[in-house]
C-alpha cells in the first residue's frame, strides 16, 4: 500500500494540467476564498484534490457522477483514509455547486455522493503536570530558549493554533492591557487574554531575546513577525513542531503524546476542568460554531467518570 510520501512523490512527477482544467480550478479557488475566506491550508488541500482528479480524468468540469464515484472507489482501494475522502467530497460539492451557479453545468454530479462515516476523535490533552514540565523545558538563559519558552507559554495560555502563533506580528501584543489580537480561520480577528505567566515570558522575550535574534538581520526595523529566528526570519510551523518534540523529550513526556495542536487541546480541556463556560471557550478558541467546541465536553465528562470510578466507594 502506498505511503503518503509515495503519493506526494507521485503527484510531483505528474505532468502539468491541461489549461482549461487549471483555469477552472483556480477560478473556483479564487471565488470561494473571496466568498468564504477559507484558510490557505484548506485552499491548498482543495487545489491538490482537484488537480489529482483532473490529471486522472481531464475535462474536470464535465465529469459524470459515475466517473466521480469510480475515482472515490479507486482512492479507497489505494488506502486513503475516510477523513481524506470526506474532505475530497466537500471539495467536489463546492466545486460543482460553483459550476452550476456560474452556468457551466446544468446539474451537480456530486449531489448524490455521500461522505463516509467518520469516527469522532476526542482531543488528546496532556495533564497539567506534563504541561508544566514542557513549559519549563527550554533553557531561558539563551535567546532561542527564551523565545521558545514565550511561544510555549503563549500557545498554552491563549489556546492558539500553530499557524496563528507563528503568524503573529509584533503589533498583535498589548502587554499593558494583557491581551493578544489573533487573526484566525476565515481571517476573523479575536482578542485573547494573555495571562500573568504568559505575559511575563513574552515581556522578557521582547526585551532581551528578540533584539538579540535580530542583530544579524539586514533590516531589523522591517521585520514584522513576533517570533523570529537568528537573522530575522519568521519561525515556521515545521520548525516549531520540531521544537515541541525536542522539549517533550527534555520534559520526560513521550514525543508521540505531544504536538503543537495538543497544547491547544490541553488549554481547552484544562479550562473546562476548572469550570470555564462553553460559550467563553468558543470565543477564546475562535470556533465559528458551538458544536465544534462541544467535543471538549466529552473529554471533561470522561475525566469525571474516571474520577468517580476511581474514588467513589461504589464506583
Q: Which of 125, 132, 94 is nearest to 110 (CA)?
A: 94
Active site (annotated) includes residue 261: yes
Asked if residues 138 and 150 have their Cβ atoms less than 8 Å apart, the reply is no
Among 149, 264, 265, 270, the one annotated catalytic: 264
- CA distances in angstroms from 157 to 244, 264, 268, listed in the order given: 16, 9, 10
Q: How would DSSP label each residue in the chain? A: ---HHHHHHHHHTSPPPPHHHHHHHHHHHHHHHHHH---HHHHHHHHHHHHHHHHHSS-GGG--HHHHHHHHHHHHHTT--HHHHHHHHHHHHHHHHHHHHTTS-SS-TTTT--PPPPP-PPP----HHHHHHHHT-S-TTSHHHHHHHHHHHHHHHHT--HHHHHT-BGGGEETTTTEEEEE-GGG-EEEEE--HHHHHHHHHIIIIIHHHHGGG-S-GGG--BSSB-TTSPBPPHHHHHHHHHHHHHHTT--GGG--HHHHHHHHHHHHHHTT--HHHHHHHHT-SSHHHHTHHHHHHHHHHHHHHHHHSTT-
Among 75, 190, 261, 303, the one annotated catalytic: 261
Active site (annotated) includes residue 210: no
Among 71, 124, 183, 185, the one annotated catalytic: 185
Among 98, 147, 161, 270, the one annotated catalytic: 161
Active site (annotated) includes residue 161: yes
Active site (annotated) includes residue 287: yes
Asked if residues 228 and 235 have their Cβ atoms less than 8 Å apart, the reply is yes
Among 71, 124, 246, 287, the one annotated catalytic: 287
Which residues have a catalytic role annotated?
161, 185, 261, 264, 287, 296
Amino acid at each position: 500500500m502506498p505511503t503518503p510520501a509515495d503519493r506526494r512523490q507521485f503527484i510531483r512527477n505528474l505532468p502539468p494540467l491541461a489549461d482549461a482544467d487549471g483555469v477552472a480550478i483556480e477560478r473556483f479557488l479564487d471565488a470561494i476564498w473571496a466568498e468564504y475566506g477559507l484558510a490557505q491550508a484548506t485552499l491548498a488541500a482543495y487545489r491538490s484534490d482537484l488537480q489529482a482528479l483532473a490529471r486522472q480524468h481531464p475535462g474536470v468540469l464535465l465529469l459524470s457522477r459515475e466517473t466521480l464515484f469510480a475515482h472515490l472507489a479507486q482512492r479507497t482501494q489505494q488506502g486513503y483514509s475516510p477523513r481524506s475522502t470526506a474532505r475530497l467530497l466537500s471539495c467536489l460539492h463546492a466545486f460543482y455547486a460553483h459550476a452550476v451557479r456560474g452556468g457551466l453545468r446544468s446539474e451537480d454530479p456530486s449531489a448524490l455522493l455521500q461522505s463516509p462515516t467518520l469516527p469522532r476523535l476526542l482531543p488528546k490533552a496532556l495533564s497539567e503536570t506534563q504541561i508544566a514540565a514542557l513549559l519549563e523545558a527550554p533553557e531561558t538563559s539563551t535567546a532561542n530558549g527564551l523565545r521558545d519558552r514565550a511561544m510555549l507559554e503563549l500557545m498554552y495560555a491563549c489556546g492558539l493554533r500553530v499557524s496563528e502563533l507563528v503568524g503573529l506580528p509584533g503589533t498583535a501584543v498589548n502587554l499593558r492591557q494583557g491581551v493578544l489580537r489573533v487573526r484566525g480561520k476565515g481571517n476573523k480577528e479575536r482578542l485573547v487574554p494573555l495571562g500573568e505567566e504568559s505575559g511575563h515570558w513574552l515581556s522578557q522575550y521582547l526585551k532581551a531575546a528578540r533584539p538579540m535574534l535580530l542583530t544579524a538581520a539586514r533590516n531589523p526595523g522591517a521585520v514584522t513577525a513576533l517570533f523570529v529566528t537568528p537573522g530575522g526570519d519568521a519561525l515556521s510551523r515545521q520548525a516549531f513542531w520540531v521544537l515541541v518534540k525536542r522539549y517533550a523529550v527534555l520534559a520526560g513526556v513521550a514525543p508521540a503524546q505531544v504536538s503543537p495542536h495538543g497544547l491547544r487541546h490541553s488549554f481547552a480541556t484544562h479550562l473546562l476542568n476548572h469550570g470555564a463556560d462553553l460559550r467563553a471557550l468558543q470565543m477564546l478558541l475562535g470556533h465559528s460554531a458551538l458544536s465544534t467546541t462541544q467535543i471538549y465536553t466529552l473529554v471533561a465528562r470522561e475525566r469525571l467518570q474516571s474520577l468517580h470510578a476511581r474514588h467513589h466507594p461504589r464506583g
